[in-house]
Amino acid sequence: RRGPEAVHFVQAALEPGAEVLLSLDWERRFDHMQQHSGQHLITAIAEQMFGFKTTSWELGRQRSVIELDTPCMTAEHIEALERSVNEKIRERVPVMVRELAADDPEIETVRSRGLPDDHVGPVRVVDIEGIDSNMCCGTHVSNLSDLQVIKLLGTEKGKKNKTNLAFLAGNRVLKSIEQSHSAEKALTSLLKNGPGEHVEAVKRLQSSVKLLQKNNLNLLRDMAVLIARDFKSKPVQSQPFVLHRKEGDSEFMNIIANEIGTEETLLFLTVGDEKEAGLFLLAGPVEAVENLGPRVAELLGGKGAGKRGRFQGKATKMSRRGEVQALLQEFISHRSPEV
C-alpha cells in the first residue's frame, strides 16, 4: 500500500491498459476470513466479559494467537469465553462493512488502535451486529455462521504481563479433528487398546523404557570394566588400544580409559554408527594426545576438545576410523623413548 493505492507485484511488466486475469486462492482466502472474523469476535467478547483488551494478534499457518492485556486467564475464563463466542455463531449474527468519512464523529466510538500516518480517504469499519465495531482493512465473513465453530486451544505466558490465547476457527477445527482422529487410530493400532487407555499405556511404556535404559547403562558400565581388565591381564599389551562399540556412550569410553590408565597406553575409542556419526575419545600420554587429538578430529570430520591427556568430541565420518588407527600406529612406531 502506498497512501490510498493498493500496489500489486507481478513477475513481468504490464502494458498500461492491458487486461489481466486475477486468480484468487479461495480456500486460503476463506481460511483467512474465518480466522480474522473469529479474532474480532473473540476480542470483542473477551473485553465485554472480562475487560481483557487485545493488544495484538497473529494469523498463523496452523493456529492463530491473540495477545491479551492480562497476566493470566483461568480455565474458567477460557471455558466461558469459548461457550459465549460459539453461542454468537449459532445466533447467525450478521457481519457488515461500511465506510466513514475521516472526520465523522462516529469514528470516536469505533474500536481502533489508530490510523496509519499516511492514511487518506474514508475509514473502513467492520461491524459484528450488536457486538463490535472495529476499524479494519482485512477480509471477513458476512455472517458469524460462516465461522462454523471456534475452539480455544489454551494460553501461554506472553511478554510484559500479557497472555497469548491460541485458537482455531472454521475449517481449521475440522482439520485438527481429522488429524487427531488419525493419530488416535494409529495409537490404537500400536498400543492395542482403546483411546481412553492411551495415556496409561504410554506411561507404562515410558516406565519400561526407563528401566531398560537403566539396566543397559549398568551393563555397559560392567562391560567397560571387563574390557579394560581383559586388556590389562594380557602379558603383552599392544598399542594403540582400539575399540568401537555401536551402543556405547561417553561414559562407557571414559570408564575404559580410567580402568586401563593412560599414563603409558594410547587409547582410541569410538561409539555410534560405524559408517556415519558418533563419538570418539583419544586418551594417553599428554604430549601424544595434544599432538594427535586435532588430527584425529579432522580425519573423522568432527570437532573436539581436550585436556590432561584426553581429547574427545563428535565425529561425522566414523568410516575413517581405520585411517586414524594407521595414524596412531605410525606415531607409536616413530615416537621417541621420552614420549
Q: Of 294, 282, 184, 182, give the one whose Cα is nearest residue 242.
A: 282
Banded model confidence at residue 109, pLDDT cuts 50, 70, 90:
confident
- Looking at domain 231-334, which CATH architecture does it have? Roll (3.10)
The percentage of residues in the chain with a pLDDT greater than 90, rounded to a whole number, is 76
SS3 88: helix
Q: In angstroms, rounded to a whole number, what is the distance separating the alpha carbons of residues 335 and 195?
A: 66
Domain range summary for the chain, segments of one domain joined by +: 26-113+120-186, 231-334
Does the global pTM surpass 0.85? no
Residue 335: the pLDDT is 66
Helix (H) or strand (E) holding 212: helix 198-233
Helix (H) or strand (E) holding 283: strand 278-283
Whether the pLDDT of residue 315 is over 80: the answer is yes
Q: In angstroms, rounded to a whole number, what is the distance separating the alpha carbons of residues 132 and 45?
A: 9
Q: In angstroms, rounded to a whole number, what is the distance separating the alpha carbons of residues 95 and 89?
A: 11
Burial classification of residue 252, based on how many CB atoms lie within 10 Å of its CB (0-12 exposed, 13-18 middle, 19 or more buried): buried
SS3 content of the chain, % helix, strand, coil (to 5): 45, 20, 35
Whether the pLDDT of residue 339 is over 70: the answer is no
Neighbour tally for 282: CB within 10 Å: 30
Which residue did the predictor score with more confidence, 216 or 40? 40
Residue 243: the pLDDT is 94
Q: What is the DSSP string of 91-128?
A: TT-BEEEEEE-TT-GGGGGSB-S---TT--S-EEEEEE
Whether the pLDDT of residue 253 is over 50: the answer is yes
Place of cell 555410534: 272
Average pLDDT score, the chain: 92
| CA atoms 170, 175, 176, 178: torsion sign | positive
Q: Model confidence over 151-187: pLDDT tens digits? A: 999 999 999 999 999 999 999 999 999 999 999 999 9
Whether the pLDDT of residue 336 is over 80: the answer is no
Q: Give whole-number Cα distances, 294 to 186, 218, 312, in Å.
A: 48, 32, 10
The CATH topology of domain 26-113+120-186 is Threonyl-tRNA Synthetase; Chain A, domain 2 (3.30.980)
Arithmetic mean of pLDDT, 41-55:
97
